Structure 1
């Protein structure tokens, strides 16, 4: 069949001499030498350049050929909706198939059909890139499962759902930057390569040079270097001069996990605030960021979000709307443990005081709070990293730390007030034999230290939350996880 395609003429142009068969919605127009305006599908769907000769470039989503008429739907990724192309059947071409790339010139006109306000009356159809519809893994008008689509990371952006996801990711990114800019935060580009393990969990990817050296063993940085697990410590440095800072970039964890919640490479939104002594200052920013970004995504990407809420995760829109209507609940770790211990659920992991909350615990707590986001504060001191502030006035030894738990995901954000008291911080680093490693961190407390705190939000988990996507691998373009690094 492909040999027959290649034998076909790739460009068919009838120009101004074309006369449509009787019954077609067109009248002969005088020859015009003006170069057609190139417009995107999203622009054409708004009626821009209505009545003018324009050029559309994109990929074919469907072809329907009749005896005298030809109908083609073309999409260029600028919107979920495709533009209908109306033409004489003389412009049909065996190479004009689902998935092929085309360039089409014609006149943008109003459409008689209510579902599509505008359409392009084609004068010329050029095949830019062929596509064998038999070999192409995605089929026209078929909804493929996320598991099937995931097998083709190099092609899955051609599906409606994944191209919608990419537009939602882009808008959510812009919404997050917009929130921080409007609230006086300065964006900081923290390093991807670092010499510190911020989380202290040891789940690091070490960075080594592969270039050969002439003499002896070569260490590029002279110290062990790793891909960053968090930009927090670098933000703390900058927050010593700029009181509100944030970063938004890739982070890495060498977790040998195949779960639906973890990736080896993912994006983190992290913020640091100086001159704060209250967990409530942090929870307010977390909640406001969530609300602001979500409202912007729902408004600016309405069609794309609706695609997920109607066809991928039916009914999830109501859950998102409910999250935005109510103020987020705040409970202490003590209260959370009491809720878990009173539960009749058969938890796999311990619910004793001092245990770390597992995914099963987090999801139960969210359910207990009416399937609404919930902040859990004041965790046991020993569960948190060295930088978390000691709650010395609490009956039990706790840290001024907070997690935001959300429906369907569990932990979305994690943060804490930072220990600004030099003596307490020094003692904890000495106990962990880290005083020399973090001597620079102690300097931050010696020279103009102020009470401060911050948090991090997993961007992919945020997308899972608002779209209702079960597997984190389906909200990132090229997922990296244990035993998988395709492309």
Structure 2
């Protein structure tokens, strides 16, 4: 059996090859190019190999006898230099055009690249008018400018780097949970519960159909999920650790740099725990594990941000990884804020909800490293947060992780597992009829448990130093904007 990149030749038993057929097969094998991604071509040590790459032209420089191109296919920040005879030039070969190039790999005289492709053939697959194309050759466009073109911004170096980082960070978080024995749960996007206290809801109704007699397609009001937490709590009755990673929705009329109507959230639930330290350990370990993985596997892409978008951010990230996260109580946080000489737009007092300005000040006060704030006022937290029963300052076993440049990154709590206290809290909130199933969880083999959620886009903002959350998600959705 003889195999090439494109064909497989199988010989029947007792059939031998003549010298002529064998030479023909060798000739075929030699001439058939191997398709490689740009990243594979750049790392290939097979000089002289006959290959084919497909991608988009990032630069073009015609000369009298030679033609120089840089082609990128999204697999690497670095492009592959193509060297060709000027005879292969084509009027359709422009900046932004899609091409297929075949040729042989040669050692590059340029120290910045190990190899280049000596082209035998260049075929224009997709034309691009460089005059109308919103991104210009050799120009470094800002994130705010490219945000205007959500259908094209993946073609820029900076946003393609962001998408590779986002992909690698997703894989790193998944790996962390898998390696630590968590089971992934696909929680529903459409739900009948509102995870009380999480935010405004998007109502789900059928379009273009007659409504059911009771007015509801699902027979009950249905919404886009604001959190998978309650569904994870169901699963925590059968597994010691579960997590979900998916889209969540908030119908908040906000144009801020920290909020989106649709964003991704990492949520986890840990069974058999009565300690906030068990939750903070998972948060901190996950943050460190994912960040170290991204820095190691996306070094060039991260460096592009840290050099050209947020200079100095790498030092901040290194400091976060080197130092243990701080821990303070909510009461200590209020004392710090009240003693500060800084004039806050929102006044601070025991019982107030912490605003972004307060969160950033606390992080700075603690040495510009992540800080856990624990034991919030009981009345600030939803019905499922565990009552600390510490009078007169009535607090809940809840925790937020605050990080530099962003503020709140994670929020979580121990869950109230005591049926009587939970029933009283539900009744106080007028939710007892809707959450009978939630009370059932405490009747049949319930265990002390807790969990948290982390905004994935805010995590990317934190490690990259990106100021606006709309610049770390492929297609941002926010009030008055749903492009594409």
Q: TM (normalized to structure 1)?
A: 0.92
Structure 1 residue 476 and structure 2 residue 479: aligned?
Answer: no
Q: Residues 33-64 of structure 1, C-alpha deviation per residue, up to 9 Å, x if partnerless?
A: 63111000000000254311111100000011
1:78 counterpart SS class: coil
Partner of 2:93: 96
1:89-137 Cα shifts (integer Å, max 9, x gaps): 1111111111000000100111111111100000000000010100000
1:431 corresponds to which residue? 428
- The match for 1:243 among 213, 218, 240 is 240
Q: In 2 relative to 1, CA 215–314 (structure 1 residues): closer, same or farther, beyond 3 Å?
A: closer
**8 A Cα contact 1:199 1:230, kept in partner:** no
Mapped to 2, the partners of 1:415 and 1:327 lie a distance apart of 19
Match of 1:396 among 393, 396, 403: 393
1:185 to 160, 165, 182: 182
Offset, 1:219? 1.8
Q: Which deviates more, 203-212 or 421-430? A: 203-212
Note the 1:61-460 alignment, pairs <5 A: 61-201=58-198, 203-213=200-210, 216=213, 218-393=215-390, 395-460=392-457
Native 8 Å contact 1:415 1:454 kept in 2: yes
Q: SS of the residue aligned with 1:413?
A: strand
| Stretch deviating more after TM superposition (42-51 or 463-472) | 42-51
CA distance, structure 1, for counterparts of residue 167 and residue 45 of structure 2: 24
Shift of 1:65: 1.1
Tell me, what secondary structure is at the counterpart of 1:45? helix
RMSD between aligned residues: 1.3
Cα 1:218–1:49 change in 2 (3 A) is: farther
CA offsets 1:135-168 (integer angstroms, 9 cap, x no match): 0000011111111101000000000000000000
The answer as to whether partners of 2:56 and 2:72 remain within 8 angstroms in 1 is yes
State the shift of 1:310 in Å. 0.3
Could you report, residue by residue, the CA deviation over 1:363-418 in whole angstroms, capped at 9, with x for unpaired residues?
A: 00001011110000000000000000000135510000000000000000000000
Contact 1:199 1:229 in 2 (8 A): no
SS of residue in 1 equivalent to 2:118? strand
- Distance in 1, matches of 2:289 and 2:76, equals 23
Q: TM-score, normalised by structure 2?
A: 0.93
The change in CA–CA distance for 1:394 and 1:331 in structure 2 (over 3 A counts) is: farther
Aligned length: 458
Conserved 8 A contact 2:57-2:72: yes
374-383 or 49-58: bigger deviation: 49-58
* Offset of residue 66 of structure 1: 1.2
Task: Tell me what 2:459 maps to.
Answer: 462
> For the residues of structure 1 that align with 2:47 and 2:250, how far apart are their CA atoms?
51
Contact 1:205 1:226 in 2 (8 A): yes
What is the deviation of 1:216? 4.6
Match of 1:11 in 2: none
Give the unaligned 5+ runs of structure 1. 1-29
204 and 285 in structure 1: CA distance in 2 versus 1, 3 angstrom threshold: same
* Structure 1 CA distance for aligned equivalents of residues 215 and 392 of structure 2: 52
In the alignment, structure 2 segments of 5+ residues that lack a partner are: 1-26
